[in-house]
Structure 1
Amino acid sequence: MKETNGNMNMKAKAFPPGDAQGVDLHPVKSKVKVKAKTRLASLNIGMLEGKTRELASMLNKRKVDIACIQETKWKGQKTLMIGDGYKLYYNGIVSNRNGVGIILSQDLTFSVVEFNRISDRLMKIKLCISQSILHILSVYAPQTGCKEEEKDEFRAILDEAVMEIPKDDLVIIGGDLNAHVGKARDSYKRQHGGFGYGERNEGEHILKFAQTFDLAIDYMLISRRRLKDVITAKSSQEKV
């Protein structure tokens, strides 16, 4: 397993919080047993301190295999078992702001071939599951009130992280992008999954990003070429 760390010092909810997905990864014979469908979730937890056991219990109850979490407010670059077989990979620069993490179920920890802690707003894990290569990105975008320079820097780093991924691999981005794509799909019918609400604000950047990398917004940002493999689970959460 390969680990790489980024050194970007960035100054600077989930997209969407708590919605789970099922991805058909078509498993074949392998030494590692994996499920036919892998469930994913993304949530902004506000602060992770004192919540790890509760979080693990919730993920186990909802049968979530992969969870992207944001705003952990944990300092450091570590991995940690948090209960119920779940393993947390996290990254943070300071203990009072930002911080991202990715949580994997016990079975999937054996499928990790690389994890890259790029910044306290972005990290990526690469999984090799049977015949599929899956890249999971957990992202936490600067808030609306942050400086434009900070937002542009985040977008540039995210662009670079996605550009490095081979075009035939599956990409799933879960996170809090701090923007609304709005209800209208207009010229983004290929990218807009139809789950938006209200008026669009800085969500235009999200849609352009999805258009550039051929992603679809279906609660999470998912590779358009593999969208047919994704099943959206029912959720009572507010749709983005």
Structure 2
Amino acid sequence: MTGQCNGLPKALETRCIDICAVQETWWSGNKLYDTGCSYKLMYKGTRGTTSGIGIVVSSKFDGNISEVQRYDDRLMKIVYITDGRKIHIFSAYTPKTGQATSIKDAFWRILDAKTAEVLPEDYIIIAGDLNGHIGCRKEEHTAHGGYGFREKNDNGQRILDFSEAHNLAIANTCFKKRDTSNHVLQWH
């Protein structure tokens, strides 16, 4: 995003998406960036890392954002107010499976603490890359909607445990999706 209306802002506009969490931004700093085409990006990143997160918001919501909190390169939050209700929108980028358990534990501790701070009457949306597979079967998990892919892994179990502890639903498991794992892309 270099100030021109192309790439991500144009795709969001075409799909009528007003708020989008982004990860692996590679941008350093702690800034608000006007894309020049009806969207603003709030981000946090550190020089020399490939993490970095952000939230892209349509300019039509400028007056509705009451807070922007940047915790680290893997977690930030905006608070959006509509109809007198607060919606806490987190952009989260969980450490990958191969990273040290201590790094993953630190991420989940801060996400847990920041989620627990949200008042019960407010809404929570956690968007991003949680780097886990929660499996295709609901089993005993109330957060799981019944649809999914692959086998559950350790990071997936963490996602399920966290979601249930905070009474959250994993939205992308609530509807059936097309399995694209067998498709091969061919370039002509």
* TM-score clears 0.5: yes
In 2, the alpha carbon distance for the partners of 1:171 and 1:148 equals: 26
In 2, the alpha carbon distance for the partners of 1:96 and 1:52 equals: 26
Q: 1:78-89 to 2 correspondence within 5 Å? A: 78-89=31-42
Q: Which has the larger radius of gyration?
A: 2
Aligned Cα RMSD in Å?
2.4
Paired amino acid for 2:146: G
- Which 5+ residue runs of structure 2 have no aligned equivalent? 182-188
Between structures 1 and 2, the one with greater strand share? 1
- Please state how far the C-alpha of 1:87 moved relative to its aligned partner: 0.6
Please report the TM-score for the alignment, with normalisation by the length of structure 1: 0.69
1:99 aligns with 2:52: yes
Equivalence for 1:173: 126
State, as a whole percentage, how many aligned pairs show the same letter.
37
The alignment partner of 1:154 has SS state of helix
Q: 1:3-82 to 2 correspondence within 5 Å? A: 53-82=6-35
Q: Does the CA-based 8 Å contact 1:195-1:218 persist in structure 2?
A: no
Summarize deviations over 1:106-142 as a string: whole Å, max 9, x none.
Answer: 1112101111000000000001112221110000000
The alignment partner of 1:117 has SS state of strand
1:142 aligns with 2:115: no
In 2, the alpha carbon distance for the partners of 1:107 and 1:51 equals: 18
Q: 1:85-164 to 2 correspondence within 5 Å? A: 85-164=38-117
1:193 aligns with 2:149: no
Please report the TM-score for the alignment, with normalisation by the length of structure 2: 0.88
- Which 5+ residue runs of structure 1 have no aligned equivalent? 1-47, 221-230
Paired amino acid for 2:132: A
In 2, the alpha carbon distance for the partners of 1:52 and 1:125 equals: 23
Q: Does the CA-based 8 Å contact 2:2-2:35 persist in structure 1?
A: no
The structure, 1 or 2, with the larger RCO (C-alpha pairs under 8 Å, 6+ apart) is 1
Matched pairs, number: 180
| Larger deviation, residues 76-85 vs 63-72 | 76-85
In 2, the alpha carbon distance for the partners of 1:168 and 1:146 equals: 35
Equivalence for 2:186: none
The alignment partner of 2:60 has SS state of helix
Q: Does the CA-based 8 Å contact 1:53-1:82 persist in structure 2?
A: no
In 2, the alpha carbon distance for the partners of 1:103 and 1:131 equals: 22
